[in-house]
Chains A and B, each alone.
Chain A
Amino acid sequence: MEDYELRATRRAYGDALVDIGGDEKIVVLSADLTNSTCTHAFSELFPRRFFQCGVAEQNMVGMAVGLALSGKIPFVSTFSAFIPNRALDQIRVSVCYNKANVKLASTHAGLTVGEDGATHQALEDIAIMRALPNMTVIVPCDFEETKKAVKQAASFKGPVYIRLGRSKLPVFTKSHTPFHIGKAELFWKGKDATVIACGIMVYQALLAAEELSKEGINIDVLNCHTIKPLDEHKILHSVKKTGCVVTAEEHQINGGLGGAIAELLSEHHPVPLKRIGVEDSFGESGKADELMKKYGLTAHDIVKAVKKVIKKKF
């Protein structure tokens, strides 16, 4: 793979908010973490439509609902450790049951928060959010895709959760790479196995695909950025061709992308499956790349898993 520029998805969130900020309906709410969530540029350009809500996430989400029910398009910004968890009841009843047009953008998801350790490494948020009726769940894979996700979320009617990261990542998609909420994209084509990934694991899956191709193993890599609703058609199409699957996410293996794929396949097309993710444990302090290695979330881990599921094929 070529050398790509490194940029964090949370920066793309901030940039996209500025790009769409001219729309009077867009309002941004922050729970103290304005710089960290990259909403400061919006706050300076559009101060009337930026609301500093303090360390009070439950009220922030409720306020966003009131704004949404009055015709605004609120973007609620904080860490994934606090949204959904701290405001889950508000998200369930006030956002989802109302079908309120609220966009929940949380940054610093997953292990790559690094040194802050387990309390700040949200690893359950995808599972929680995808269990909620009326919620759309998006996990963009890089800076460029995040900008598209934020802009599409703004024009999408209904609750959306966008999961973003702290660390810099390779920007490997282009402005013309297709992105549509609810549609998975085939990023690498093969016939031997399907790797379905989201977020920062998409790049790792591509590294794995390159590595495997040197050994004559060719895989499909699906960028499954929308975990709910799942692009069942494209996933089943690939899996019926390859007959085995590896999922990869920076999240618990239970209930997230891997859980969603396992549910889909066990009902419609059971095949050998290996889920890559954190295996029912908390994270810990460390450098992002050290943690990804320790918890088995690297291209190398995907390569091993692919070989394993191929051997198990019916």
Chain B
Amino acid sequence: MDRDTLVKKLKKKANIIRKDILKMIFKANSGHPAGALGMADVFSVLYFHEMEHEPRNPYWIDRDRLVLSNGHICPVRYSAMARSGYFHPHELKTLRRLGSRLQGHPSYVDLPAVESSSGSLGQGLSIAVGMALAAKLDKKDYKVYCVMSDGELDEGSSWEAINAAHKFGLDNLIVIVDRNFIQISGETEGIWPLEPLDKKFEAHNWNVLKSSGHDFNELLEVFETANNSDKPVVIIAKTVPGKGVSFMEGRFEWHGRPPNKEELKQALLELKNGGSQK
């Protein structure tokens, strides 16, 4: 597949994921739309291009692992999983319902293909480090991806894990930081300043790559570079929270509130027309 065709395909998948996210969260009448929408493009690249995985064989021993550390954006993952064949997209509408495998925050015991439960911030990267270490022990080539939020870099345990990845020489670990500059109460730099984030990772002996979280060409290139890293590597992906829906974009108020019926209608209409191009 040539690059243009690939980008076209990934864009289309991301658009489907965004619509899924909004419908799921509307139906559940609770959830976190902003972060999930913001990461739809990255998840499209991960599930439909980057990761080696077999949706029909989720326990394939050589699969790439993806740990989603900021569990609250799980609708983006559930949609990517359903759309790549892990389960029927009909199941998406059970999000957050009693008895559903699609818990409000991912549950490994209910849905093992999520690789690990998550929800309490600052834990996922340590788990990813353990998985990458296991790959080294077993002389396996699989890669371990960890998606985390910028907000959870407030947690000291995140930095313990960042140190650990360096100490254990984990060149098979690729972290994607969802750098959307918001967290639940406002802007990250006001709540708990993270900058200069790139320099902090560099000081911990990581390779640091930066990318737009929405430009597919750039994302494809940055993942290609990350795959050849000789150290743990972080992709700081600058994303727009609520991406694709004009009235949600860049607004932390949408961190944790569902759209109402009117808002859903307008959002889906915008996405039908390709999404907000702000």
Contacts and interface: CB of A to CB of B under 8 A. Distances in A.
B191 interface: no
B108 A66 contact: no
Contacts of A72: 134, 137
Interface stretch (A55-63, A204-212, A236-244, A266-274): A55-63
B164 interface: yes
Given A49-B137, A56-B164, A58-B157, A67 B120 contact: no
A62 B108 contact: no
A48 B125 CA distance: 22
21 contacts: A58-B122, A58-B126, A58-B160, A59-B161, A59-B163, A63-B127, A63-B129, A63-B133, A63-B164, A65-B116, A66-B129, A69-B131, A70-B131, A70-B134, A70-B135, A71-B134, A90-B123, A90-B126, A92-B120, A94-B126, A99-B108
B79 interface: no
Contacts of A59: 126, 129, 157, 160-161, 163-164
Interface of A: 27, 48-49, 51, 53-54, 56, 58-72, 74, 89-90, 92-94, 97-99
A89 B127 contact: no
B115 interface: yes
A66 B134 contact: yes
B119 interface: yes
A92 to B, nearest CB: 8
A74 B131 CA distance: 12
Interface of B: 67, 107-109, 115-120, 122-135, 137-138, 156-157, 160-161, 163-164, 167-168
Contacts of A70: 130-131, 134-135, 138
Contacts of A94: 116-117, 123, 126-127
A90 B160 CA distance: 13
B164 A97 contact: no
B107 A97 contact: yes
A62 B129 contact: yes
A75 to B, nearest CB: 13
Given A27-B137, A49-B137, A56-B164, A97 B130 contact: no
Nearest to B129: A63
A66 B130 contact: yes
Contact of A62 (B134, B137, B156, B161): B161
Given A59-B164, A62-B161, 7 more contacts: A51-B133, A59-B126, A62-B124, A63-B129, A65-B126, A68-B130, A72-B134
